[in-house]
Chain A
Amino acid sequence: MTRSSDDRRVAWVFLLPVLVGFTVFYLYPTARGIWYSVTDYSLLNTPTFVGADNYADLAGDPQFWRSLRVTAYYVVLNIGSQAVLALGLAALMHRLTRSVVVRAMLLVPWLVPNVTVALLWMWLLDANLGLVNHLLSGAGLGRQGFLTSPVWAMPSVALVNTWAYTGYTALLLYAGMLQIPAHLYESAALDGAGELRMFRLITLPLLRPVLALVLVVSLIGSFQIFDTVAVTTLGNPAGATRVVYLYIYEQAFRYFHMGYAAAAAMVLVVILGLLTAVQLRLLRASRSDLA
């Protein structure tokens, strides 16, 4: 590379690989996806333009609406339990220990593939031989076919992923808590404030920007649940766990309705796009507040 007072040439060299990757695997497929969504396309034929037909069909497709409702139900259960547990866990660590070993142990479920987590819990929740049911019947409670019950399947999936992600979320919140000046806690303790009071009056308000950001990021991830369901229930029983990602996947790769699947994915783009816009705003806000 020769020296140059003009950055323009050098910049293109630095940017070339990323621009190629971005154009070929982000820009082009985005345009193509939008195009698919207004066509009839089965992977085998060439796409034929059908206008807004796919969107009109989607609007009147009870299966699609159900998958959105099922996903929303999952998100509420998953994010609700995960947020409460992770916040409690982070606060505990923050006030008790800086141990790297403890943190590393809590991180393990997040490091493991979702597929492994799903299989592991499918076994633990097995109706006949699973550990959870052994423990339940040992405690005098009835056995449950967790993942095969229309009522329990979705809460079970939500709890499995809460198990997988709580440690990770807690560590992010914990990192946020470390940025809160320690002297605030010291003077509060001198004033005789208890731990719960400190949590309510110091930790929670000062953590708010970080908490909001972490929640939005978890929310975006949660909307995209697929692996767990694809490995365990495949949308069953009777569609009780057919989340929107699985619905799109089935439309595209089982029934080969590529155009229809692309239109359904567009709806998801709108939902997640709005959430990501919020995330980017919060990211900027949290920088200026706490850094």
Chain B
Amino acid sequence: MSRIAAWCTLGVFLVLTIVPFYWMVRTAMTPAADLYTDSTGLFPDHPTTVNFRRVLGLVDAETARAAGGSGARIDFLRYTLNSIVYCGLIAVGQTFFCAMAGYAFARLRFPGRDALFGVIVAALMVPPIFTLLPNFTLVKDLGLIDTFAGMVAPSFLMTPFAVFFLRQFFLSVPVEVEEAAVIDGAGRWRIFWNVVVPMSRGPLSTIALTTTVWAWKDFLWPLLVGRGEQTRLLTVALGVFRQQSPNTQPDWTGLMAASTLSVLPVLILLVVLGRRLVQSLNFTGIK
């Protein structure tokens, strides 16, 4: 009996999780002209794909305006691709370079190792907004505003968390395997690349996945550095899109269509890598 009640409670959590997303898609499929008369039913009276087509920039300005758009050019296909490039660059770069450093901090012997690691861990205590202001002026001085180089620069090479996490992981791996390779005469780099990396696929993909998710959600930094059309990310574009009709009722059907587009890639990721993603959230997901 109480088991049934427990399942029902869990069911309520699931429904509350999913219904907002359903309503997003439902609104995205409603013609803007119907919004006032048709905003309560479970299904739209006249389902349409025009809102998706217009936020993807697939219809001409006139059709877009007729469907409730502001007439400003929007191209969410491009912003989605930009976001994917941004996430990909950061995830690959950061995972690779932080794995190298994490390995060095865990395995190699050199003077000043622990002090250096301590300094990097201490940087975890500095909130991003503090380094954000000077990093912005730096990227601006380098002339890298509105370039992917400027956008990915601060997180392409490292984050203190990734170094910390991977170092802790490498410390927990038994050294015997590597010692055998040393006796075989393999150099450190070959041991790292041929022995350690293949053994560490789990933690490496965990870091790559969490990095991807965080990069996908990034808003403030790309808002400052990548506002231009060429480098605009999905999140920034959503913010801009929302502000294009500030005085009247926002273009809800268009906004929900664009929002749906920002959820789709994540859903695909979840379907393809769901098990790995969910299981990686042991302690590792903490950032």
Contacts and interface: CB of A to CB of B under 8 A. Distances in A.
B39 A129 contact: yes
Given A26-B160, A33-B131, A114-B217, A123 B286 contact: no
Interface of B: 2-3, 6-7, 9-10, 13-14, 16-18, 20-21, 23-24, 27, 35-36, 39-40, 97-98, 100-101, 103-105, 108-111, 113, 116, 120-121, 123-131, 133-135, 137-138, 153-158, 160, 163, 185-190, 192, 213, 216-220, 224, 234-235, 238-239, 242, 250, 252, 255-256, 259, 262-263, 266-267, 269-270, 274-275, 277-279, 281-283, 285-287
Given A25-B153, A119-B259, 14 more contacts: A3-B188, A18-B98, A21-B156, A22-B123, A29-B138, A32-B138, A104-B277, A107-B277, A111-B269, A119-B255, A120-B21, A124-B23, A226-B219, A276-B125
Contacts of A33: 130-131, 133-134
A115 B220 contact: no
Interface in A108-132: 108-109, 111-116, 119-124, 126, 129, 131
Given A22-B120, A116-B238, A134 B286 contact: no
Contact of B259 (A26, A116, A248): A116
Nearest to A218: B286
A280 B121 CA distance: 9
Nearest to A171: B281
A77 interface: no
A60 B135 CA distance: 28
A36 B17 contact: no
B167 to A, nearest CB: 11
The range of chain A's interface size is: 35 or more
Nearest to A121: B20
Given A134-B39, A213-B286, A167 B17 contact: yes
A280 B267 CA distance: 33
A242 to B, nearest CB: 15
Contacts of A89: 10, 13
A191 interface: no
B133 A10 contact: no
26 contacts: A3-B187, A3-B188, A10-B187, A11-B110, A14-B101, A14-B103, A20-B157, A25-B138, A25-B157, A26-B126, A36-B133, A88-B9, A96-B6, A103-B278, A108-B21, A113-B217, A115-B235, A119-B259, A120-B256, A123-B256, A172-B286, A175-B281, A214-B286, A227-B219, A269-B125, A269-B130
A26 B119 CA distance: 11
B134 A15 contact: no
Contacts of B259: 116, 119-120
Interface of A: 1-4, 7-8, 10-15, 17-22, 24-30, 32-33, 36, 43, 88-89, 92-93, 95-97, 100-109, 111-116, 119-124, 126, 129, 131, 134, 163, 167-168, 171-172, 175-176, 195, 210, 213-214, 217, 223-224, 226-227, 230-231, 245, 248-249, 252-253, 258, 261-262, 265-266, 268-269, 272-273, 276-277, 280, 286
A92 B16 CA distance: 16
B270 A108 contact: yes
Contacts, number: 285
Chain A contact surface mostly: helix
B158 A17 contact: yes
Contacts of B266: 108, 111-112
Chain B contact surface mostly: helix
Contact of B18 (A7, A15, A105): A105
A176 B282 CA distance: 7
B144 to A, nearest CB: 12
B133 A112 contact: no
Contact of A28 (B134, B186, B255, B281): B134
Given A15-B100, A18-B163, A116-B262, A268 B153 contact: no
Nearest to B163: A18
A265 B97 contact: no
Contact of B158 (A2, A21, A171, A252): A21
A195 to B, nearest CB: 7
B154 A25 contact: yes
The 7 residue pairs across chains A and B that have the minimum distance between CB atoms = A21-B157, A29-B134, A14-B104, A18-B101, A1-B189, A32-B134, A7-B108
Nearest to A258: B133
A120 B24 contact: yes
Contacts of A231: 238-239, 242
Nearest to A91: B6
A290 B153 CA distance: 38
Contact of B27 (A10, A123, A272): A123
Contacts of B218: 113
A124 B19 CA distance: 10
Given A115-B219, A119-B242, A92 B133 contact: no
B131 A10 contact: no
A224 to B, nearest CB: 6
B127 to A, nearest CB: 5
A80 B7 CA distance: 24
